[in-house]
Structure 1
């Protein structure tokens, strides 16, 4: 009978229980709805800014995470990592996290930041500015959305549904059935880099004649970018476009200065300054080294300083000045040339002047030219922006897709023509163009530079003096200019104006775990199972015979006469 065979099977497993148990483990794994491959995943995360500037501390101080993931709307976030999408994060919620002593915050960003709607972009940029000016001990990380991160977010949100359950029993069951995640960022804490070096790269084109007696025009552009996360700060427009224009101007005028017939009686100085997003530290030190030095003063007879910033989009060109130049001054003439060239050759471009006085009470200067204006040099910044307060200048949304290489080429051509009229004293030339044919702006070079610079994070913290970007810029300037050199500056150790910290990009591990209440349910189930198995084993013969009698009919007794 099949009951007898069943009993023999039980006896077989009873005699070799440890080995027979291993037989069932692969079966349980195969039929399990949870894939062991997804039990742990590793993905890149980007830490929020951390720096000191002029004695003030900004950003988050800590970097290490090893805690349970919870939704940002959870009622209990103490010693937990809040996981949220961009649209879920607001400054009131962020400050509420600080009040609850949350362990960390992970913000999931859209994988394509250029696809944000205008409202989403404004929300992100506003959030960036406020976060960067907050001081916090809570680690804040950003991650680009992926399929696995989407699954984590959904599971965390479902785990949070127990907080809104109508009864305590339903909340307990919801917590036990939800999937939890343990998030961990290993490594060392972020440390200050007191010996960090910011590099300035300068070169010159000497004018025809006695160099010391010739006027000088300085063209300046800072090369670093800034955003809420250093490793996501590419700065395609601010200030990748300004860098590209400076390099292209250096190439064009180097051709003119190598020909004796077009060798102008002006010295041209080109400077790629570092630390521009941190109150223009590179320009500040360059002025000290060259303007205030007893010897080697290349700014002794400066006609004006032209700073380039954010010139890769829009049909507007604004000349930002601290003091409106007189019409007969070098600045007034240059502004006149800009208008003449735009009207003659680029009628779609609207050239204007924006006047803003320097507020020495502000911790941060508005534009780079203000560093030079403070030293009573005629200086201005050319930009398509109409105000320094726009969030586009310091945002991770400043990507390659927001910049047009055609606009950069056009603005470079316009600026080159205006400078040529200035240094060659070409007034009222009408439709005359100097930069045509072999001397024209090379669109393919502009686009190649844009693609390169917009794919390399250029936050000041990640641009060391020997980084690939800095070395490439130095080598390129060496092809066109003379006396190219890289000068390094460090913060004063006693009273540092700036301090940068390590740790811009980390690897985060997410482990799929069950919450602690699940362990309680599991312990109860195991205890019940063991009790039932023990009872079944001790009374197996009784159960066996009882089942046998209930299933097998009893034969009727034969009647005896």
Structure 2
């Protein structure tokens, strides 16, 4: 007969093998690999903005089921509110937001909600890692599974036992994001490009009393090229497109015999804007102010000339000034011409003036023209938004191109007709931008996707083609006290693994423990069980023998 030690030694490995198989069957499975975009991170004027950390290795929970810093919240952009975000950034371990498949088809109320949330996220320091995932059907399925136990399900009249079983049987997901770097870019710099459109000397021979180009009055047109938003992608750059359009059509106008104006039109474009406190204009004023702005009549700044998303407001082009212009001043004259152009070509677009004093106590300026107004240059900003804190100014989301292209054509037409009337000293609009000088959709499309000078030479080639005295300067961040600073943060991969929830691990541990205890007790008591079975076997054998003898004796008597 086998002793207890032999049985235990032979049976235990098989018991542990069975337990290992059970545990492995409940292990992690690959849910998928997805490309995500990290929330932008930058510094401006000593203030930090954007998310500060990047690595994630946590259990994914829905917007309604997360509870601790051990959870990463996975939700849709349309579902999260500003209050939800504030709670998540303070108490959770991370946030992953799936973007809509098509923002342009959403109604105006939802678009407004998105831009307000976007602005709130962008203008604060976020201590947790935040990622944006483009819409993906597989990711949508995972999000639906994570959101199975929603607030609606929790409020149903279910017993505690049913809820426990549901929690145990549910699938969970573990999210891992690694490889992202949050180190500062020590070579952070902002390119600023400048050029002048001055009368051609060969054409100028036909113009009576042409002025020397060094003494010509100057009109400066500026815009900012937005290179990032809530994540690392290009927002709508309608301002840069309008500036390039004005540059092209007025260059053609300058080449026409006897139509060369007695003005020098200068163009300034920089890779900065509201988010960087118009750092490019500030740097350019420090270097080129005394050389370029002698005789400047006004500075026209373009800021959100077209709204990237449709809105509920009426179509208005606002002229923002730091102080009301005096009657018959250069700005007042152009404002009247602009209103006249809007009446003729605006398609229900109107022009209104907005006066706002410069608040020198604020670390950030409201509009770019304030950079020039501080230096006592006559300046204004043309914008489609009235409030300087409008969230649409920093939105990275865009509508379909058809509406945008149409509105850019209208805005360019109005600005150019008013500008032509001003430089030719006309009381009525010349209406000359037709035919050869017409602003069409092909011109708009060629400039709508322009990118930074740091990435390609499209802008530089355009400036060199149409302008003279082209200069490019780079505003580099100071090593000790930088006015701005960028950080590395490229697109990374997010790995999602299918796992069971923590309550399932607890349940599985209890089951395996009970199983091992039962096996151990069975092995411990096997000798006693064997003896009892042996006794029963002997008793049955003895009883069978007695019955057999009785039967034989009965047969013999017969």
Give TM class, smaller chain: 0.7 to 0.9
Distance 2:198 2:472 in 1: 18
SS at 2:131 equivalent: strand
TM-score by length of 1: 0.79
User: 146, 149, 153: which one pairs with 1:156?
Assistant: 146
| Cα deviation 1:345-402 (Å, max 9, x = unaligned) | 5463312211111111222211111111111001111122222222111113344458
1:268 aligns with 2:265: yes
Checking the alignment, whether the CA contact within 8 Å between 1:114 and 1:402 is kept in structure 2 is no
In structure 2, relative to structure 1, the CA distance for the partners of 1:94 and 1:343 (3 Å cut) is closer
* Number of equivalenced pairs: 502
In structure 2, relative to structure 1, the CA distance for the partners of 1:390 and 1:188 (3 Å cut) is closer
User: 471, 496, 515: which one pairs with 1:510?
Assistant: 496
What is the match of residue 377 of structure 1?
377
Distance 1:309 1:75 in 2: 40
What is the match of residue 544 of structure 2?
none
SS at 2:33 equivalent: strand
In structure 2, relative to structure 1, the CA distance for the partners of 1:351 and 1:76 (3 Å cut) is closer
What is the match of residue 455 of structure 2?
467
What is the match of residue 252 of structure 2?
255
Checking the alignment, whether the CA contact within 8 Å between 1:229 and 1:504 is kept in structure 2 is no
Structure 2 unmatched ranges of 5 or more = 1-12, 200-209, 308-313, 538-550
SS at 1:158 equivalent: coil
1:416 aligns with 2:416: yes
What is the match of residue 183 of structure 1?
175
* Cα offset, 1:183, TM superposition: 0.5
In structure 2, relative to structure 1, the CA distance for the partners of 1:390 and 1:497 (3 Å cut) is same
What is the match of residue 80 of structure 1?
71
User: 478, 481, 490: which one pairs with 1:492?
Assistant: 478
In structure 2, relative to structure 1, the CA distance for the partners of 1:286 and 1:155 (3 Å cut) is same
SS at 2:411 equivalent: helix
Checking the alignment, whether the CA contact within 8 Å between 1:199 and 1:273 is kept in structure 2 is yes
* Cα offset, 1:41, TM superposition: 0.9
What is the match of residue 445 of structure 2?
447
Task: Pick the structure with greater CA Rg.
Answer: 2
* Cα offset, 1:69, TM superposition: 0.9
Structure 1 unmatched ranges of 5 or more = 1-16, 547-556
What is the match of residue 436 of structure 1?
434
Tell me which moved more, 243-252 or 149-158.
149-158
User: 63, 74, 80: which one pairs with 1:89?
Assistant: 80
Checking the alignment, whether the CA contact within 8 Å between 1:108 and 1:143 is kept in structure 2 is yes
In structure 2, relative to structure 1, the CA distance for the partners of 1:81 and 1:331 (3 Å cut) is same
Checking the alignment, whether the CA contact within 8 Å between 2:191 and 2:473 is kept in structure 1 is yes
Distance 1:213 1:355 in 2: 31
1:116 aligns with 2:106: yes
1:58 aligns with 2:60: no
Counterparts of 1:284-323 in structure 2 under 5 Å?
A: 284-292=282-290, 297-312=291-306, 315-323=315-323
SS at 2:147 equivalent: helix
Checking the alignment, whether the CA contact within 8 Å between 1:221 and 1:273 is kept in structure 2 is yes
In structure 2, relative to structure 1, the CA distance for the partners of 1:345 and 1:515 (3 Å cut) is closer
Say what the alpha-carbon RMSD is for the aligned residues: 3.7
